[in-house]
Structure 1
Amino acid sequence: MRFRHFAYVSLMALALAGCNDALETTQIDLSQVKNKVEQPLPPRILTEMAAKSMDRNSPILIRIFKEEGQLEIWKAKTDNRYDKIAGYKICAWSGRLGPKVKQGDRQAPEGFYNLTKANLNPNSKYYLAINTGFPNKYDAVNGRTGTDLMIHGACSSSGCYSMTDEQVLEIYAFARDAFQGGQTGVQLQAFPFRMTAENMFKHRTSENIDFWKMLKVGYDNFEVTKRPPEVNVCEKKYVFNQQSAGAFNPGGKCPEMSAPPALTAALASYDKTYDIAYAKASKQFDGMAWYDPSEAERKAVVAKSRKGRELAYAPTGTSLEAGRMMKVADLEGMTAAKTATTVAANTAAGSAPADASATVKAADAAIVNPASVPVPTPSPISPTATALVPVEQPQSVELAAKKPFWKFWDRN
């Protein structure tokens, strides 16, 4: 009898341990969904919530990793620390690794965004959508432009993070339940990749490396505390978990600020481990760097999956599937060749391209002919939802108990 009980407990533990992986693909019959806006989370997720001491309406956090093609939902437990509750494979994201800079560049945003209930779009023609809040204060003060950048269904992207309809149904439900529980701001963390020492070394030659190092500070704060960092902007840069009596002015000088001693000590310990791992990566990949594939190259990898689907279905594949490590000299030569091709294309046209998307297409043509790649449909937002989405969102994320972040940090 005791053996049977032990076997049952072991089986249940194994099932729960595999839940996060199982959520990579959802199994929902959309034809049976009567009200997509109020569709409850499936029993398997509720079961794991209970196992992890999470309330159905507790706060959530969304993390996106472009290179790996992953969107994760993290949820607060009873101790106010967050744990991963669901993971989804992103069906399509456009552009390459790197932040969105201007309207028309087809880039999906990278950075820290605050989502309110107004960011939910139940009327999206792409099933359901959540506005990312781009441009935020950092984007705006740095002159970055773009609108209506979403997390939505339909698996078709033009600057958005596009999921399948089944996936976005669950993601939307997570956000809806959290807002119903009193959360006023859901933090969205959008990264180019998991910011490990190995990945940072592999991407050290990228023109975006300084921007990514800044994002990594926020990434590290979350890794150490398992709580959304408090985000502010001053001197046109992000700052994380900083206490200050003065105000944070995005374009002005940063006020005198400091981090809680306990957090500073924890980050110092984290950095020591990181430095050791970075040194190891530098030896392992000496003289090598990562080649970031174009959108066209990523689409080519998953082209077979489009057979039998509607034209609008346009998965992009992941950078890990289409990218590769290269000798730095070869990578620099390839980059120079692409730049020359872009300049030649612009010169042949007689003038600069009308927008950044023309430059992106010309650059991609140097490696893969995108003529056979279907053009994604426009970024989704219904006319009725436009007024619901705020132009700019505040950066601070309000936690459920409405305490300053350092109070949470001091609590064990």
Structure 2
Amino acid sequence: MTRRPRIILGISLWLCLTSAAMAQPAFKQRQLQYPRVRAAFVEKEPLLKAKFSEKELAYPPANIFLRIFKNEKQVEVWVGSGQNGYQLAEIYDICSSSGGLGPKRARGDRQVPEGFYHISHFNPASSFHLSLGLSYPNRSDRILKKGSDPGGSIYIHGDCVTIGCIPITDDRIKELYVLAVEARAAGQARIPVHVFPARLDSLNFAALQREYAGDGALIGFWENLKTGYDRFQSSGRVPKVTIDNKGKYLFE
């Protein structure tokens, strides 16, 4: 490679890195143009700083990870802490739910999805105060759907009403939204969200096996989810998730 192409390549790489670095703070500034987001930061940021300080966690968080447990009606917020993996920062209660245990397979089935997702949309002007969209349907959902339409528009949001979403009240969504904006602004392009029927420890999973013994396909699906659950439980690190041609989750 001659000197001139090397210089051009170097400039191109510098421009790409600079653009990426500038894009994330710009995201936060765009979000802060919305009144509800500004109000959430004013109200909740001092509280979050105090909570994080008490737990010896860095604020603002560079990355976060969410786990949702349908049976327990809880949303866990984990914060990345460098070499120590993730530490639990907060648990928010889900205040209303629809459907039952088991994955979402069709539009209108009222089910909350189960599987491995990420935050795909920030809605600063939601009908439910603020909301964070899940990347449902993912490839597994599209493969395993019933009929032609697996549905969509699944959000973690405010208020306390739902048909297939995850409401945690206006007060709590303010905190979670602030954390998600900060993580995105720090460079976390994908905030992982893992949704489980319940905490899949040995006792709970045995109870699910007994209660749903007649549904082998559902138990098999939950066994697949449990593999991902166990990976995080044992390592404190979010596993890399891929999906095979049959809709099964694979973990690295």
**Which interval holds the TM-score relative to the shorter structure?**
0.7 to 0.9
Larger strand fraction of residues: 2
Q: Secondary structure at the match of 2:37?
A: coil
CA shift for structure 1 position 132: 1.2
1: CA distance, partners of 2:144 / 2:220: 14
Q: Is the 8 A contact 1:111 1:190 kept in 2?
A: yes
Could you tell me how far apart the structure 1 residues matched to 2:159 and 2:115 are? 24
- Deviation track 1:362-389 (CA, whole Å, cap 9, x = no partner) reads xxxxxxxxxxxxxxxxxxxxxxxxxxxx
Q: Which residue in 2 is equivalent to 1:164?
A: 169
Aligned counterparts of 2:223 and 2:151: Cα–Cα separation in 1: 23
**Amino acid aligned to 1:183:** Q
Quick one: which amino acid aligns to residue 101 of structure 2?
Answer: L
Alignment of 1:274-293 (within 5 A): none
Contact conserved, 2:61 with 2:79, CA < 8 A, in 1?
A: no
Residues in 2 aligned to 1:106 and 1:168: alpha-carbon distance in whole angstroms: 21
RMSD over aligned CA atoms reads: 1.6
Q: Deviations over 1:323-377 (max 9, x none)?
A: xxxxxxxxxxxxxxxxxxxxxxxxxxxxxxxxxxxxxxxxxxxxxxxxxxxxxxx
118, 125, 128: which one aligns with 1:126:
128
TM-score, reference length from structure 1 = 0.48
> Paired residue for 1:96?
100
Specify the alignment match of 1:380 in structure 2. Answer: none
| Unmatched tracts of structure 2, length 5 or more | 1-33
User: CA deviation digits over 1:65-122, x for unaligned, max 9?
Assistant: 1111111111011325111101111011110011001111100011100224xx1111
1:153 CA displacement: 1.1
Match of 2:75 in 1: 71
Check conservation: 1:54, 1:78, Cα contact below 8 A. Answer: no
Q: 1:225-240 counterparts in 2 under 5 A?
A: 225-235=235-245, 236-240=247-251
Question: What residue in structure 2 maps to residue 87 of structure 1?
Answer: 91
From 47, 51, 56, the equivalent of 2:50 is: 47
| Partner in structure 2 of residue 216 of structure 1 | 226
Secondary structure of the residue that 1:204 maps to in structure 2? Answer: helix
How far apart are the structure 2 equivalents of 1:225 and 1:55? Answer: 23
**1:37: which partner in 2?**
37
Query: Hey, what's the Cα distance between the residues in 2 that align with 1:170 and 1:181?
Result: 17
Query: 1:108 aligned to 2:112?
Result: yes
Check conservation: 1:57, 1:179, Cα contact below 8 A.
no
Q: Does structure 2 conserve the Cα–Cα contact (< 8 Å) formed by 1:55 and 1:77?
A: no
The letter for the 1-side match of 2:222 is W
Equivalent in the alignment of 1:276: none
1:149 shift after superposition: 1.2
The AA in structure 2 aligned to 1:147 is: G
Could you tell me how far apart the structure 2 residues matched to 1:52 and 1:213 are?
35
Partner SS for 2:91:
strand
TM-score (norm 2): 0.77
Matches within 5 A, 1:12-411: 35-38=35-38, 39-40=40-41, 41-50=44-53, 51-79=55-83, 81-116=85-120, 119-143=121-145, 145-205=150-210, 206=212, 207=215, 208-235=218-245, 236-241=247-252
Number of aligned pairs? Answer: 206
Cα deviation, residue 131, structure 1: 1.0
Hey, what's the Cα distance between the residues in 1 that align with 2:239 and 2:113? 19
Structure 1: tracts of 5 or more residues without a match: 1-33, 242-412
**Take 2:82 and 2:59, find their aligned partners in 1: how far apart are those partners?**
8
**Cα distance, 1:139 vs structure 2:** 0.6
